[in-house]
Chains A and B, each alone.
Chain A
Amino acid sequence: MDRAIYGDNQFFGVNHYSEARAAERQRRFSDDADIFRTLCVAHEIGIRTFMFTTHARFENVFSMMRRDPRFDDFKLVPCIPYAHKYADAMTQAGVLGAMWRYMPRNIASLGVRAARSLLTLDPAPVLRSLIDSELRLYRGLHVEAVFLQNIPVDFALGLGMHHLLGAFSEYVEGRYQARAGFITMNHVLLEDTLRQKLGIQRPLICSSINRIGFRMNPGKSAVEESLAKGASDVIAMSVMASGAVSPAEAFEYIDGLEGVSSILFGASSRKNIEDTFNRIMRSGSKNESLARCSQ
C-alpha cells in the first residue's frame, strides 16, 4: 500500500483533540463539491490512496470521481460500517442486534443468510450481507483494501468472537479481491489474535501510533515492541495525536520506528496536504511503493 494515505476526518468535523476545530471543519465541507475539489488537489499533489468511512455523503463525491478520468489511478480504501449509523445500534443491541437491525435491500439473498445465521447462532453470514450492502457504492472504482472499523473489531475481540474477523477477511479477499484490514484501538491484542488464533500470516492493521502514546493501548512500549517484530503491515493513524504533537516531532518519531508501512493523515488546505505528503514521502522508507507514487 502507498506510504501516504489521505483520510476523511477533516470532511466530517471529526477532531478527537478539539471539538471546536471539528465544528469549524464541518461547516467548511458542507458541500459535496468542496470535498471533491479537495480530493482533486490531493490527487494533483501526488496522493493515490484515499481511506474513508462509508458515509452516505460520499455517494455524490464518488459519482463525480467516476466521471473524471484523472481518478482512474486512484485507489480506495473504504472502512465499514459507517460508525455512527451502527455505533448507536451497537450500544443498544450489541454486535448481533445491530446486524439483525441493519439489513441490506436484497431480501432474497439475505433470507438464506439470515436463516443460516439464526440456525447456527452465528452472525458471520449476515456479516457478509452487511459487507455487500456497504460496498455497493464503490462498484467500478478501484478498491484496494476494505477495513473493518474499530468498534466492531474491538467488540469482536472483547467478546471472543474473533471468527467474525476471519469471516470478514475471507469474504473481502474472496469476493472483492481486495485486501482485508482492521482498524483497532487494541493493536497488540488484535495482532496476536489475527496471527495466532486465525492464522493470518501478515495482517493489515490500522491503529493509533504517535510520540505521546495517545490511544496506544495497552501501552506505548507494548505497541512499539509489537511493531518491531515486523509481523504485520501497519498503517499509523493519529500520528499527530489530533494536533497534540507537531508535524515535525510526529514524523521524526514515526521515522524512528520499525514496523510502520503507511501513514494515514488528514488535512484540508492545499498547503497542509502538500507539506504533510512531502514530509511523509521524505521519510526513510525503502518501501517500493515510494517509486509507484511518483508522477
Chain B
Amino acid sequence: MGLSHLAIANALDEFKVVAVSDLNRLVGRSIARFTASRYIRDYRDLLRDPEVDAVLVSVPTHLHFPVARAALDQGKHVFLEKPLTLSADSSRRLAEQAREARLATQVGYVNRLNPVFEHLRTMILEGTYGAPVEYECAMRGNVVGDEGAQGWRNDHRFGGGCLYEYGSHCIDLALFLFGHFASLDSAALTRIVSADVEDRVSALVTHKNDLRGRLEVDWADKSFRKATNAVSILTEKALIVGNKQEIVVFDHPSRGLDLATEEAGSRAPDRKVNVTDLDATVPYYLRGEEFTRQLLHFHELITAQATGSVAQFSDGAEIDRLISEILAARGQ
C-alpha cells in the first residue's frame, strides 16, 4: 500500500512528497533517485524534519501504534493505514491522542470514499426505503492460494489472518453504513488452508439502533477473481444489494426471500444505481478512484476545508475493539 500512496501523493499537485522512510534501503534509494523525495531510513529522523507537515503511514500493522503516536507527538498530520493497530487498547489511546491533538488524522478505510458506498449510506440515512431490518455484509476474495497464508499473513502478531486483513474492511463498512455497534452476539473463526490463522470469519452483531447484522469474511474463496465487498440490506420496504460497482433495489421482497444475491439475481431489480451514474473522475487514478479521493480528503482536512475525517481514528478504534471481542470469543 505504501508505494500506492506514494505514487498518488507524488502525482497530485496538492502534495509535495519531501521524504520517504523505509527499512528497505533498495526501495528507499530507488525512490529517492527517481523522485524529488529524500530517503531517510529512520522514521524518527523524518518526523523531526521541519519541512514535513504530514505523514502517510503504511508500515506493518504491529508498528502502527509507535509510529503514529510519535508523528502526533511531533505535531504532524497523520494518515494511517488500516487496521489502526493490533490492540484495542492501543487503538483507543491513539484515537484519544488524535482527538486532543488538533491535527488532521485519518485511517485508511478507503471504501468510505467509494462513490457507490457513499450513495448507499445516503440512501439508508434518507430512509427512502424505510428503516433497515437486518443485513449481511460480506467480503470475499482470494488472497491466499492453496498453500494458505504465508509469511506475515500467517501470523496474528504481524496483522496476519483474514480478520485483520479483510474483516477490518468488512466491519468498517457495517459501521459506516449502519452506525455504532452495541454488541457482538456470536463469532466463528475457521481455518481452511492456512496453518496458523483463520481463513473465514462469521459474526453476528447488533448495532446501537437495534439493527441486527451478519458479517461474513473469506479470503480463500477461489471463485472470486478479486476482493469483493457486498452488502444486502432488508428494509421495511425493500431489499437493497450493493457492492463497489452498483446498488440494486427490489421493492417489497416476498416473505422468506433469501438475502443471498443469487436468489435476488433471478428477478430484475426495480431500481439500479451504477458507479457509471456517479461522477468519479480524479486528477490521477491508480487502482480505484477511492484511493485518490481518500488522499484528497486528507488534504482537505489539513487545509481545514473539511472538519473531521470521514474515516476517523475513533472509527478505527471501534473496529479494533470489535475485532478483539471476536478473537476473545474464540479463545484466541
Contacts and interface: CB of A to CB of B under 8 A. Distances in A.
A17 B245 contact: yes
A179 to B, nearest CB: 24
Contacts of B8: 158
Contacts of A241: 276
Contact of A242 (B2, B31, B223, B276): B276
Contact of A218 (B3, B36, B226, B283): B283
A90 B6 CA distance: 13
23 contacts: A17-B246, A18-B246, A88-B143, A90-B3, A91-B3, A91-B287, A95-B3, A121-B29, A121-B33, A154-B286, A157-B7, A158-B7, A158-B286, A159-B7, A159-B10, A159-B35, A186-B284, A189-B284, A212-B276, A213-B281, A220-B281, A244-B274, A245-B276
Contacts of A185: 285-286
Interface residues on B, range: 35 or more
B10 A160 contact: yes
Chain A facing B: main interface SS: helix
Contacts of A26: 225
Interface string A152-178: 001101111101000000000000000
Given A158-B6, A220-B281, 9 more contacts: A18-B245, A90-B3, A91-B1, A95-B3, A158-B10, A185-B286, A215-B285, A218-B283, A244-B277
A16 interface: yes
Interface string A117-147: 0100111000000000000000000000000
Interface in B283-303: 283-287
A94 interface: yes
A84 interface: yes
Interface string B11-39: 10000000000000011011101111000
Interface string B196-240: 000000000000000000000000000101101000000000000
B154 interface: no
Given A17-B276, A18-B245, A218 B11 contact: no
A60 B282 CA distance: 39
A123 B30 contact: yes
Kindly list the 4 A-B residue pairs having the minimum CB-CB distance in the complex, ordered from nearest: A158-B7, A94-B3, A244-B276, A185-B285
Interface residues of A, number: 49
B74 interface: no
B281 A17 contact: no
Given A19-B243, A97-B27, A218-B282, A84 B35 contact: no
Nearest to B286: A154
Interface string A84-114: 1000101101111100000000000000000
A4 interface: no
Interface of A: 12-14, 16-20, 22-23, 26, 84, 88, 90-91, 93-97, 118, 121-123, 151, 154-155, 157-161, 163, 185-186, 189, 212-220, 241-242, 244-245
A282 B209 CA distance: 59
B276 A121 contact: no
Contacts of B286: 151, 154-155, 158, 185
Contact of B34 (A161, A219, A242, A244): A161
Nearest to A97: B27
B263 interface: no
B256 interface: no
B27 A94 contact: yes
Contacts of B226: 84
Contacts of A242: 276
A34 to B, nearest CB: 18
A159 B281 contact: no
A122 B27 CA distance: 10
B4 interface: yes
Contacts of A94: 2-3, 27
Contacts of B282: 217-218
B24 to A, nearest CB: 8
Nearest to A27: B223
Contacts of B29: 121
A160 B276 contact: no
A174 to B, nearest CB: 23
B261 interface: yes
A48 to B, nearest CB: 29
Interface string B235-256: 0000000010110000000000
Contacts of B228: 19
Contacts of B279: 213
A16 B245 contact: yes
B276 A217 contact: no
Contacts of A14: 225
B281 A217 contact: yes
A247 to B, nearest CB: 15
A246 to B, nearest CB: 12
Contact of B284 (A97, A122, A123, A158): A158
Contacts of B10: 158-160
A217 B280 CA distance: 9
Nearest to A158: B7
Contacts of B283: 217-218
B265 interface: yes
